Structure 1
Amino acid sequence: MSIQLHVASLPDLVEPPSSEDTEGCLQCQQGSKMVLFVTGRCHWRCDYCPLSENRREIEYIYANERRCDPDDWEAVLEEAHAMNATGTGITGGDPMMDRERTLESIRQLKREFGSQHHIHMYTSIPFQPPQATALADAGLDEIRFHLLDLELEPYLEIMEACEQAGMKTGVELPCEPDQEERLLALLEELRDAPITFLNLNELEITVGNLDNMELRGFNISNELTAGAEG
C-alpha cells in the first residue's frame, strides 16, 4: 500500500527588514509594536476590508487581542508593558472616526513611555489640515493614508499639512489584482506627492471580506497565506 503525502506549496521568502523601511515598519517586523484598535467605526467604503463582523462598529478598544473598555488606558498601558512594546500602531475601523479617543491614546502612550515610543496611525479620511497639528502635538510620529478608490487628489492638502507638522507621511495600499492599470498610474502620480514612503501590501482574503472577494473573482494564492492570487 502506498501513501501519498500532500505538501503545501511554499510562498516566496520575504526579504529581511531594510534600513530604508520606516521606523514603524521596522518595529512591526521585529514584533515589538503593540496594535491598538481604537474604534470599530468606519465609513465602510472598501469592499476588501478584512475586518471581522465582531470588530465592526464596536466601541471597545483592543490592545493586541486584549479587549479593553473604552478609555481604560490603564489596561492598554498594562498590555504594552507586558509585551515590552517599543511602539504602537493605531488602527480600526478608522481612528479619525473617533478623533478625541485617538488623540488621547497617543498622549497616554507618550506620557507613559516617553518620546522614544514610536506611534504610527492608519486612516483613509482626508481630514481637515488643522487636525494635523493636533495629532503632531499629541505625539504622533508617522501617518499612513489609505487612498479611497485609488484617488490621490483629495489627500494632497492633508498630506502636505502632516509633513509640515513634522509627521512622517506616507501611503499604504493593498494591491488589488483587477486594478493593476490604475495602481501603476497612481504610482506615477505619487512621485510628486508630499510623502516620504509608500507601502504596497498583499491583498488578503479573510472571513470579513470573503463574499466580496469571491464576487470579484479572487482566489487565495496558496495554502499558507491569505493573499489573493494575481
Structure 2
Amino acid sequence: MNAYYRYLNSLVNKNKQEFGNYENINWINLWNTDELEATRQKLIRASGGQTLFKGTKPYVNQISDGCKICGAGAWSCLFITGKCNANCFYCPSPQKQDEPPESQGITFHTPLAYAEYINYFDFKGVSFSGGEPLLVKDRVMQYLKAIRSLCNPEIYIWMYTNGILSDDKVFRELADNGLNEIRFDIGATNYNLNGIKMAKGLIPNITVEIPAIPEEKERLMKLLPEMINAGVTNLNLHQLRLTHHNADKLLKHDYTYIPAERPIVLESELAALEIMSYAKNTKLPIGINYCSFYFKYRFQKAGYRKILANKLKRPDDFITEKGFLRKRNGTAVNYEGLTLYDENKPKAAIETDNLVLKHKTYGVHRSLAKRVDVDDRDQIAITDLLTSTKGNIPERADLFDLWQYEFIEKGLREY
C-alpha cells in the first residue's frame, strides 16, 4: 500500500473512532464504489465538465465574485454573532450565544480594529456570517460602514442570512452602505423566496447558498425558474457534513458517509451534481456551483495560511502552495505555520511575538508543523518534488510527507 492510500486508511480509522458512539452510521462500502464513481463522473460531464480550483469546484455558467475571492484565499469571514434564530437539522454547530464578532478565532470588539486588520493583511473580500447577522443588524451596519470608509473601495462585501428577518428597509440600508452581495439559506425557511424578492433591485447580487439536501433535490429543480425570476443569479450548493452537534438529527436520514478529513454525505454530493446537470440541460440562466468539502477544506485553510505568511514571513522563508513556510536544513525539511492570536488570550507555554497595530495587538505564534528527514542520497528526488509545478502524489512515505505540506490535492477524491 503506497503512502497516499495509507493516509486515506488513517482517515477511515480516525472517523470511525471519533464517531464510535454512534452505532447507526452507514459508512461507504467498497462493493459499490465503482458504480457510484461512474455516476458522479457522468453527472459532472452532463453539467458541462467545468471546474475551478484544481477540480474541487464543479460549476455551471458562472460563479459569484465572492466565490472567486474565497477560492483565491483573499477573503475574511467575520462571524458577527454566534446566535441564530433558525433550527436547521444540518447545522454543524450550536449557534446559541450572541458572541463578539470574530474571525479565525480572533475577536474584533470594534469596527476600527477589524477594518485595520483587513487593511494590514490586504484582504480583497469580506463576508458577514453567524449565527444570523440580521439579529444584530445595527452591528452589521457599523462594521460595514467602517470597511467602506476605511478600506480599499474595491473590496467585495457580502452577507449570509437565513431570511427570517428579511426587511426591505434593512436591505436598502445595506445596499446604500455598499453591500455587494447577499446570500440566502432558503433551507431555513422551507424554501420560501419572500426575502429574496424584497432584496431584488436593492442589493446588486443575490445568491442562494444552501446544503444540497438529497430529499429536496426535485423540489429545488422545480424552484429554479422562480428563483431566477426573483432575482437570484447564483446558487451555491454545499456538501452535508456530520458533526457531533448535528449527528442526532443527521443520522435519522438514510445517508451514506464518506470518511474524509471530516465525515461527509455521499448523497449530498450526487444531489448537487444532478441539480447542476439539470440546469445545464434545460439551459437555465443561473450560475450553480458545487462547493465541495474538499474545496473548503483545502483552499480556505491554505488561503488563510498564505494571507498570514505573505505578511509575516521572514526573508528566508519559502511559502508553499499549501501556505506553510519551508526551510531546508541539511537532509531535513522543516515546515512551519503561523497563527494569529488575541494578545490577551491565555497561551500557556507558547512563545509569541507581538503584532502591534493602532487599534489592536495580536500574538503571532510560529510553530513547527512537520519535520521530514530524508536520505541524503535522494537529493534529486527531493529537489524534483519541491520544484515541481504538477504536484503529483509520490508513493514513498518520506516524499509523501513533503508533498502534504507543499501542494493542494487535486480534484474530488474517488469514492
Q: Can you list the C-alpha shifts for 1:170-197, whole angstroms capped at 9, x where unaligned?
A: 2111101232232222234324222222
Contact 1:144–1:169 (8 Å) recurs in 2: yes
| 1:182 aligned residue | 219
TM-score when scaled to structure 2? Answer: 0.48
Separation in structure 2 between the aligned mates of residue 15 and residue 156 of structure 1, nearest angstrom? 25
Q: What is the aligned length?
A: 222
Matched, 1:209 2:249: no
Separation in structure 2 between the aligned mates of residue 134 and residue 209 of structure 1, nearest angstrom? 35
Separation in structure 1 between the aligned mates of residue 222 and residue 169 of structure 2, nearest angstrom? 30
Secondary structure in 1 matching 2:90: coil
Separation in structure 2 between the aligned mates of residue 157 and residue 114 of structure 1, nearest angstrom? 30
Counterparts of 1:46-65 in structure 2, within 5 Å, are: 46-51=88-93, 53=94, 56-65=96-105
Letter in 2 for 1:41: K
Alpha-carbon shift at residue 213 of structure 1 (Å)? 1.0
Matched, 1:8 2:8: yes
Letter in 2 for 1:171: V
- Alignment CA distance shift 1:149-1:74 (3 Å): closer
Secondary structure in 2 matching 1:119: strand
Unaligned runs of 5+ in 2: 12-36, 41-54, 268-415
Separation in structure 1 between the aligned mates of residue 70 and residue 172 of structure 2, nearest angstrom? 25
| 1:142 aligned residue | 181
Alpha-carbon shift at residue 198 of structure 1 (Å)? 1.4
Alpha-carbon shift at residue 82 of structure 1 (Å)? 4.2
1:173 pairs, out of 210, 235, 253, with 210
Secondary structure in 1 matching 2:235: strand
Separation in structure 1 between the aligned mates of residue 60 and residue 90 of structure 2, nearest angstrom? 28
Contact 1:34–1:63 (8 Å) recurs in 2: yes
User: Share of identical aligned residues, percent?
Assistant: 25
| 1:220 aligned residue | 257
Alpha-carbon shift at residue 120 of structure 1 (Å)? 0.5
Separation in structure 2 between the aligned mates of residue 151 and residue 194 of structure 1, nearest angstrom? 15
Moved more, 91-100 or 190-199: 190-199
Contact 1:171–1:195 (8 Å) recurs in 2: yes
Unaligned runs of 5+ in 1: none
Contact 1:132–1:165 (8 Å) recurs in 2: yes
Contact 1:150–1:182 (8 Å) recurs in 2: no
Matched, 1:42 2:84: yes
Larger Cα-atom Rg:
2
Alpha-carbon shift at residue 66 of structure 1 (Å)? 0.8
2:170 pairs, out of 113, 121, 131, with 131
Alpha-carbon shift at residue 79 of structure 1 (Å)? 3.0
Letter in 1 for 2:240: L
Alpha-carbon shift at residue 156 of structure 1 (Å)? 4.5
| 2:72 aligned residue | 30
Secondary structure in 1 matching 2:158: strand
| 1:101 aligned residue | 139
Q: Is the helix fraction higher in 1 or 2? A: 2
Secondary structure in 2 matching 1:197: strand
- Alignment CA distance shift 1:87-1:142 (3 Å): same
Letter in 2 for 1:122: Y
Separation in structure 2 between the aligned mates of residue 202 and residue 3 of structure 1, nearest angstrom? 28
Q: Can you list the C-alpha shifts for 1:182-220, whole angstroms capped at 9, x where unaligned?
A: 222223432422222211111222233222211224343
Secondary structure in 1 matching 2:159: strand
Contact 1:63–1:76 (8 Å) recurs in 2: no
Separation in structure 2 between the aligned mates of residue 28 and residue 17 of structure 1, nearest angstrom? 15
Alpha-carbon shift at residue 149 of structure 1 (Å)? 4.3
Contact 2:74–2:125 (8 Å) recurs in 1: yes
| 1:67 aligned residue | 107
Contact 1:88–1:118 (8 Å) recurs in 2: yes
